[in-house]
Structure 1
């Protein structure tokens, strides 16, 4: 299956999750909507949890890893917060209705890639404490982002992103 086909299935998956909720999306419905054979799905994904993992990974790679050499890290963080807000119904559904895929861990892993990039630029790569910062900060950043999805008085994505950027800039002061 080509990457385009996987992306088509993932896009339909995201739409269905937003509309119906994760627990009400089936492979049969997805493939009917995609106008593809059901077996095509199973040729490349084990189940909808595998599709969820691939979808999250692809979304984060598009926002983070694909922009490391093109955008300042602050803009990447803002972009991710924007995309989370734009796909809020999708994220709320997958965070509330399934536990098989650790969404926070998956998102945090991609933030670790970003933070490692930032620390390399700052010359902190060989310091063990820098790696502790990466792991801890990535989880905190991800919880800040995902908790905002459920807050009745949630801040806008740019306010949250700026809070995260300010905290990281403070931590990196030397």
Structure 2
């Protein structure tokens, strides 16, 4: 298992390095095979094609970036790490976004960004997350807003810095989620 993981990482690293000097559409499987000193069957054992490598790179990187902040229960740090990752890896993320089904990209990001919003709510409320339709609606609403904001920022050329964008998102969601949670509690309290 460790060998499989290290081979995948080796191929992924070769793709990242190649993308520093060569446009993605000009990179071939044979380039990666040569750079990694592996056989063609080894490559295809791990990945379907070069697009599959790119998808794996972005998804693995994003999960790893978010894991650090979430382990520290730092939702703001997790969000800023995600924004910085997108900014620092513009070329890779742009290729990933352009070659992937946008619905699949959003679905993947939704599950990852949802962890950030749930962490915020838990830190704000000092509570344990329990499924609740109203709470889930609030979470999903803001997750969608964050994802759409990141998408527009990415497609718009990332004209604001990651720090500025992160600050705007944090200010916006922090106050609004707190207000929505407060109002939700008041409504639930009055319905008891």
TM-score range, shorter chain: 0.7 to 0.9
User: How many residues end up aligned between the 2 structures?
Assistant: 173
Aligned to 2:100: 99
Look up the SS of the partner of 1:46 in the other structure: coil
Cα distance in 1 between the residues matched to 2:15 and 2:139: 31
Query: Residues 112-131 of structure 1, C-alpha deviation per residue, up to 9 Å, x if partnerless?
Result: 12223333443353321222
- The normalised TM-score by structure 2 is 0.76
Does 2:135 align with 1:134?
Answer: no
Look up the SS of the partner of 2:46 in the other structure: coil
Distance 1:153 1:10, change over 3 A: closer
Aligned to 1:51: 53
RMSD: 2.4
Look up the SS of the partner of 2:131 in the other structure: coil
Aligned to 1:161: 166
**Residue number among 25, 31, 34 corresponding to 2:33 in the alignment:** 31
- The normalised TM-score by structure 1 is 0.83
Task: Report deviation, 1:43.
Answer: 1.3
Deviates most, 122-131 or 73-82? 122-131
**Residue number among 6, 9, 30 corresponding to 1:7 in the alignment:** 9
Task: Report deviation, 1:84.
Answer: 1.0
Residues 58 and 96, structure 2, Cα contact 8 Å, conserved in 1: no
Distance 1:56 1:109, change over 3 A: farther
Task: Report deviation, 1:12.
Answer: 2.0
Cα distance in 1 between the residues matched to 2:92 and 2:63: 17
Deviates most, 145-154 or 7-16? 145-154
Residues 58 and 93, structure 2, Cα contact 8 Å, conserved in 1: no
Decide which structure has greater helix share. 2
Deviates most, 81-90 or 137-146? 137-146
Distance 1:100 1:133, change over 3 A: same
Unaligned 5+ segments in structure 2 are: 183-192
